[in-house]
Structure 1
Amino acid sequence: MNNVVKKIISPFEEFLHTEAASGVILLFCTIVAMILANSPAHETYFGILNTKLGFQIGTYVVHKELLLWINDGLMAIFFFVIGLEIKRELAFGELSNPRKAALPIAAALGGMVVPALIYVAFNHDGDAVAGWGIPMATDIAFAVGILAIVGPRIPFALKIFLLALAIVDDLGAVLVIAIFYTDTIAAPALGIAVGLLGLTYLLNKIGVRKVSVYVVIGMLVWFAVLKSGVHATIAGVILGLMTPVFPWFSRSAAKEQITKLLEEVEQHGMDQRDVFPTSAHDSLAKLGYVVKESAPPLDRLVDILHPWVSFFIMPVFALANAGVRLEGASLNAVFESPIALGVALGLLLGKPIGIVLFSKLAVLAKLAEFPAGVGYTKLIGTGFVAGIGFTMALFISGLAIKSPDLEVYSKLGILMGSVVAGTIGFVILKIATRDR
C-alpha cells in the first residue's frame, strides 16, 4: 500500500519542487526585464524584441517580431504542457474524483468570476473592457514558490489543492482565449488543423509510436491554427489533451515481454570482453522499446518538457514581456488608471474573496469538504497566493489590450497586484503554520 501511495504522490512532489525553483528564476528574469526596460540599454532591449523573423510554406507566409515568436511559438509548448497536466489531473489526480474535485473547481470558478467582475466595475465601457480576462489566472510557478518559501509546515493537501485550483484556472484561461480573444476565423486553415488533429488521433489508435511523426504533425497543426485566426497556443492545449495517459504495454504484458527478451539475451552469452555479442543487439533493442513503451506517453512528455518549460520558456517569456517602460507612467497615473486598478484589485482582492466565498458555498451545499489540516485561515492565505497572476495574466494582457500605451498600465497592475497579493499570502500562511 505504501508503494502505491508513493507512486501517486511522488510525481506531485517532483512537480511542486520544479515549480518552486522555476518561481525563483521567474522573479529574477522579471527584475532583469524591468531593469533593462528602464536603463540606457532600453532601445537595444526593445529593438531585439521587435526584430522580425519568418518563413514561408507554399503561399502561407509567417513574418513576426521576436516577441510574437516567443508568445505564439514558445508559449505553444507551455500550453502543450498545460494540456498534459490538465489531462493527467482529470485522469488520475485531484480532479479525477468528483468529490475531491468539487472544492478546487468551486474555488477556481470563484477566483475567475470575482476578479473579472472587479475589473469590469472599473472598466465597463470602451476598448479596456476587453481586459476582463487578465486577472483570472494563477501563476503556478510563483504560487508554489511562495508555499516552498513558507516551508515544510504547509500541509501537502494544501499544495495539491492549490495545484488543482491553478490547473482549473489555466483551463478557464484557455477557454477564455479560445472563445473571447479570437477576432476572425479563416475556415480553410481551421479545417486543415481539424483534419491534422484527426490524423493524429488515427495514427495513435493504429499504434504509430514514432515521436518524430507527431512532432511534425504538431508543428503543422500549430501553423494551421496560427493562420486560422484562433490563437496558436490553443493548438498546444488540444494536442496535450490528446496525448495518451496509458502505456502501449500494460504492466502484465510488459513483464511478460521483458522476461522473454531477457531470456533471449542470456542465450547469446558474453564475449571475451564480458559484453553482449552483436547477435544479442536485436533482443536488446526490443527490450529497450518495451521498457520505453511501458511508461505512458503523457508522463514521458511531461518528464522531458516540464524542465524546459520551467527553466527556459517561462523565463524567456518573462524577459520578453515583463519589461515595462515607466517613462511617462507616474505613480499617480498608475493609481488613477482604471485598467491598472481593475487588474491589481482583481488579483489582490478578487482572487481571495472569490476562492474563499465559492469554497464556503460548496462546503455549505455539501458538494465538497476541506482537506485534512486546511482551515479558513490557510484557505485565505492560499487565496492571496493565487492572486499572483503574472505569466498567464501577461499573456492575456497582450491579447486583450491592443494599445501599447494602455498595456503599460495593465502590466503594472499585474506586477503590483501579484507582488502585494503574494506578500500578504506569504505572511498569512507563515503565521497560520508556525504552530504546526
Structure 2
Amino acid sequence: MELSLLAPILVVVLFGALAAGLWVGFSLIAVGLVAMALASPAPAGLVFATKVWGGLTVWDLTALPMFIWMGEILVRSRLSSDMFSGLAPFTGRLPGRLLHVNVFGCALFAAVSGSSAATTATIGRMSVPELTSRGYDPRMIIGTLAGSGTFGFLIPPSIILIVYGAATEQSIARLFLAGVVPGLMLAALFSGYIMLWSTVNRSRMPEAEPPVDRRAAIRGSARLLPVVGLIFAVIGSIYAGIASPTEAAVIGVTGALILAWATGAMSWAGFADALRAATITTCMITFILAGAAFLTVAMGYTGIPRQLAAWIGEMGLSPYALLAALTVFFIVMGMFLDGISIVVLTVSIILPMVVQAGIDPIWFGVFLVLVVEMSQITPPVGFNLFVLQTITGRDIFSIARYAAPFFGLLVLAVALLALFPQLALWLPGTMLSR
C-alpha cells in the first residue's frame, strides 16, 4: 500500500481506538497489527512475541516498579505534612511567603517519588486546605501546584526518564544527572514568578504572619531530615557509583518502609494498598511499553520512519528549527496523550533524525521530558489537572487557566535549555568522567 494512504489509515486507527476507550497499550498493538497486515507479509504474531519479549526483558526497567512502589509508600506516610512544617519557617520572609512551599515541597517530593501525579496529589492534599485557610489567592495556590507538580517528570528518580533510557538504550544514570540542573532551574523560575506576582499584587496577599522564632525554625528543619536523607541515599548512591539505578530503587523502597514504620504511618493494610497500587501502575506502563515496542518494529516494516526522516532532511531544518517544530508537535500530542505514551510512541521515530541533526540523545531526553511536562497541565488530557480537579472541585479549564503562567515558564525553560545545552550536559560530563 502507498505510504500516502497508509499513514492516514494508521492515524485514524490509533485515535479511533483511543476514542473508543481502548487502553493506550492495546491501541498501540492494534495500530501495529493493522500496519503489519497492510504493509508486510511477515507473520505478525511471531514479530509481536519476539519484539515484546525483547523490549520488556531489559534490566534497566526493573528499577521502574521499585521507584513506583517507593512513591506509593511515601504517599501514605506523613512525609508531606512534615515537609510543610519544615519548609514553612524558611519561606515566610520571601515575597509570596507560603506559596513557595508548593514549589519547594514538590521539588523535594519529586526527588523521592519519580511521579508527577503522585507529587501533585500528595503535596496538594496537604497544601491546598492549609494555604486556603490562611487566605492565599486560590488561583495562585492551584496554579503553583499544577506547575510544580510536573517536577516529578524531570527531577530524578524520574519514571519517564527510566522509560526513555530503556527505549533508547541510553544510560539512566546519565539521564538522572542531566535532569538535576534543569529541574533546579525550573524551580527557581517558578519561585521567581511567585516573588514577582506577589510584589505586583500585594492586595491579593494575606496579612503577614508573626515571624517564627529560631527554635521553631530549627525544630521545623529537623522534620526535613528524613526526606533529605532518603534523597541522598537514593540519588547519592547512583552518583557515587555505589549502586545502579535498580539497586538504588531497592534502597529507596527500604528507606521508605523504614520511614513509614518509624512515623507509625504504615499498617499492614497500607502496605498491601501501596503494593497493589504500585502493581497496577507498573502493569499499565508495561502494557504501553509492550505496545510501543511492537508498533516500533511494525512501523519499520511500513517504511514510514525512513520516509519521514528523509522528508525532514530534505527540508534542511537547522537544529533550532527542528527543536521548535518538535516542541509544537509534542505540545499538540500532549493535549490527547499522557507523557509516557508520548515518549514510547514517538521516540523511536524521532530520535534517529535528532541524532542525525547532531543533537545529543541525553540532552534530548531532558528536552523531551520538559516538553512532555507541559502535557500535564494542558486540557483536555492533563493528568495534573485531573488530580487538582479531584482535590479542589474546580473544572479542568479553570485550573488550566490558573496554570497558564507556569506553562509559559516551561516554554521559557525549554528555550533556555536549547540556548545553553550545558545546563543538562555539564553535570553528567563532570560526575561520570572521573
Q: TM-score range by the shorter chain?
A: under 0.3
Instruction: Give the TM-score, by structure 2 length.
Output: 0.26
Instruction: Give the TM-score, by structure 1 length.
Output: 0.26
- Give the helix-richer structure, 1 or 2: 2
Q: Larger C-alpha radius of gyration, 1 or 2?
A: 1
